[in-house]
Chain A
């Protein structure tokens, strides 16, 4: 495949940020189809429009996910990208790799694909960009036999679950995000690889309310770490912060002179529940008022840590704006311990998941995310389905209209009445 002139893309080789154009050109020296990627992208820059077509029946046999069909709409000019399917590899939990594993993946992709990847896709997969239909089965064979790896999800499947790095390298992981993510990924291989639902379904696991994988904004099923006892305080370290021995927020503001650390202004006054105060140089917290927002812990990581009675809050139904508007996940289960049973399963979490699925598979409409189904039927109905006792924590505020749908058995004497009896007392 010949090189194409790319005067527009060449402009993106300038500047301090790493250039994907430079990188593509480097790859093209070994994988000439990359010249056609560059050529077609240059055409898009010129035409201000995409040149890809999508969809279809491509995939590996028996799987309904993991491969997304992609075709050029100018294949005569760029035959190297005429077929250019996406392959989604299920990433290891929290995206740690050995160089040996990565080199194996690179070799596989040099053999069967374009050499270009996304590290990583928005859902978390390691995405291999661009291969042909005849290459899919051989690639899958080598992937499973030689690399001991598998594809991720796409379509109306459980999408590849994703977690934060949690306890691997963070002091705030309130449950083992990697273990839960990996265990559920293995438990639900069928749902990841074959369609099961009215539409996509995403799991995301964050270890604390800072929510580094955006679970509350992006996942149908968000498990977000929390605790239900007292924030652990090291009073000596509090004094260290007050004296200026430690930089607040771990040094996150080091590039600008914000003045001397002021614990009242930077911690106490920014606490959303105003549940903290100083008695002399001792920090006090009324933990019963705390909503575990993480601000004080973020600012003074040496002095404050989440409590020891740790677990997670489960929120359900987040999604991007299409169609009714964006939704954050709704707090459904205030606290679960996130513990494995003797069979190595997170049975309590699995039970919650399957209650949602059994109901949503039945009542969800085609292409309706579970958050939209909940919106359509109402939170009260969903809480009944989930067999969750309604608590004030489920709402920001009680409803402001009185339009309660009473059940007949909740009203004394039921709905059936005798109008003749009524007329004896109340003439027309």
Chain B
């Protein structure tokens, strides 16, 4: 028996939730659950967890695109079946982890992964650039200001050497969100790549009546820039529509989400902003937000060279200058943002001076600063 369209409610099952996690644990995980003692990294991408029982769990972490096919998932299953008793897991940063219960099983697993071309790069542990988490972009989203998978592929190609090694001062979390809504946690990333729109929405007066609830479009605007208006459509009829106060628009796209007759994406208006120095962990310093250091870079598919170069420059300036354990935000806090701009050579512009809500908190209210090349 399968689904019967004539009787959709017959035998309907709802609200059963996800399968219980425990059935998916490899035996070594199940046995040592809650009884792990310590861990170490044998090499980039290979972890060993030691249990109180003396058991060891070896994990091989591989980078993976977030957008993957069922063909690739089946290949991952083949590897899991061959080496890991059929178990595998994903990390929160879209890496895949293969676990084995003995050191002797690690090398055959690594050899197998290596034999499959560049599909399974081993790394993403310790003081590395781990996988770049991201959102949908042009592959599936209606409000993006840039692509996601394409930019990330180009960036990770360039930072590949930092994914497969442990040579940075600390872990560096790179993240991309394709618009201001930030489906990913880019607002607390070491380096955040953020899609931004720069043109207010257009209004399709011919379509708005059929597509939108005007009060929703009006109330969706955080800055009150969308107002009701009576306008003429292209047939010359007076219709109820909206107008947008361009001076107040912050290009968030909220109105477009509620009203598809207000598109704002634009090939020239859209691009990428770079934010730096956020972190989520409570280790040493408190969690920090990422700060806007480059207000705009153009969308230049297929490989976004300006964005790739900007990310690499920030990463390598940090790598050269920061102390051991220092996250990007801790490094900038120590040297000061004026030094960050000087050392990276990123031009400081008025766009980095906050004039939104709570802006005052970010203005300098002390005579303490460093004389850098910015002060003539």
Contact = CB atoms under 8 A, between A and B. Distances in A.
Asked if the two chains touch in their complex, CB atoms less than 8 Å apart, one says: yes
Interface of A: 8-9, 11-12, 14-21, 23-24, 26-27, 30, 34, 37, 41, 44-55, 61-63, 70, 84, 86, 89-103, 105-106, 109-110, 115-124, 129-130, 137-138, 141-142, 144-145, 148-150, 162, 164-165, 167-171, 173, 176, 178, 182, 185-186, 189-190, 193, 209-214, 216-218, 224, 246-247, 249-256, 258, 266, 270, 272, 292-295, 298-299, 301-302, 320-326, 328, 366-367
B118 A250 contact: no
Given A142-B2, A169-B36, A171-B36, A17 B118 contact: yes
Max chain A Cβ within 10 angstroms of own Cβ: one of B16, B21, B254: B21
In the A-B complex, list the 3 residue pairs whose CB atoms are closest, starting with the nearest.
A252-B126, A15-B157, A255-B167
Contact of A117 (B59, B68, B303): B68
Max chain B Cβ within 10 angstroms of own Cβ: one of A62, A142, A224, A322: A322
Contacts of A217: 185, 187-188, 278, 280, 287
A167 B33 contact: yes
Given A44-B138, A96-B89, A144-B13, A185 B126 contact: no
Max chain A Cβ within 10 angstroms of own Cβ: one of B19, B70, B153: B70
A334 to B, nearest CB: 14
Given A18-B63, A98-B23, 5 more contacts: A99-B86, A106-B70, A150-B15, A167-B36, A209-B281
25 contacts: A20-B65, A24-B67, A45-B147, A49-B267, A53-B142, A54-B260, A89-B18, A93-B18, A96-B24, A106-B77, A110-B70, A119-B66, A119-B68, A120-B90, A171-B39, A193-B15, A213-B92, A214-B185, A251-B40, A252-B171, A256-B167, A295-B283, A320-B177, A320-B182, A324-B357
Interface string B1-26: 01101001101111111111111111
A96 B29 contact: yes
Interface stretch (B41-49, B227-235, B338-346): B41-49
Contact of B281 (A120, A144, A210): A210
Contacts of B325: 249, 266, 270, 295, 299
A252 B140 contact: no
A30 B70 CA distance: 10
B183 interface: yes
A247 B40 contact: yes
Contacts of B147: 41, 44-45
A185 B68 contact: no
B237 to A, nearest CB: 25
Interface in B131-160: 133, 135-144, 147, 149-150, 153-154, 156-157, 160
B153 A19 contact: yes
Contacts of B71: 23, 26-27, 30, 115
Contacts of A94: 21, 89
B242 interface: no
A268 to B, nearest CB: 12
Contacts of A326: 187-188, 289
Contacts of A109: 70
Contacts of B20: 92, 182
Contacts of B119: 18
Interface residues of B, number: 136
Contacts of A246: 40
B352 to A, nearest CB: 15
B69 interface: yes
A17 B15 contact: no
A189 B89 contact: no
B214 interface: no
Given A103-B77, A320-B181, A171 B38 contact: yes
Contacts of B68: 20, 23, 116-119
Max chain A Cβ within 10 angstroms of own Cβ: one of B19, B34, B136: B19
B185 A320 contact: yes
A58 to B, nearest CB: 14
Nearest to B149: A20
Contacts of A144: 12-14, 16
Max chain A Cβ within 10 angstroms of own Cβ: one of B15, B40, B47, B154: B15
A106 B154 CA distance: 28
B90 A95 contact: yes
Contacts of A367: 220
Given A169-B36, A251-B166, A18 B120 contact: yes
B316 interface: no
Nearest to B285: A272
B47 to A, nearest CB: 8
Contacts of A118: 66-68, 136
A58 B48 CA distance: 46
B91 A95 contact: yes
A255 B324 CA distance: 12
Contacts of A272: 284-285
Given A92-B19, A103-B74, A252 B41 contact: yes
Contacts of A320: 177, 181-183, 185-187
Contacts of A323: 222, 252, 254
A325 B356 contact: yes
A137 B41 contact: no
Nearest to B13: A144
A12 B302 contact: yes
A270 B270 CA distance: 42
Contact of A252 (B21, B127, B150, B302): B127
B69 A115 contact: yes
A164 B281 CA distance: 13
B307 interface: no
Contacts of B39: 170-171, 250, 301
A167 B29 CA distance: 9
Interface string B246-280: 00000010100100100001111010000000101
Nearest to A261: B324
Nearest to A246: B40
Nearest to B284: A295
Max chain B Cβ within 10 angstroms of own Cβ: one of A50, A150, A249: A50
A123 B219 CA distance: 26
B2 to A, nearest CB: 7
Given A20-B149, A169-B36, A295-B325, A37 B14 contact: no
B94 A119 contact: yes
B118 to A, nearest CB: 6
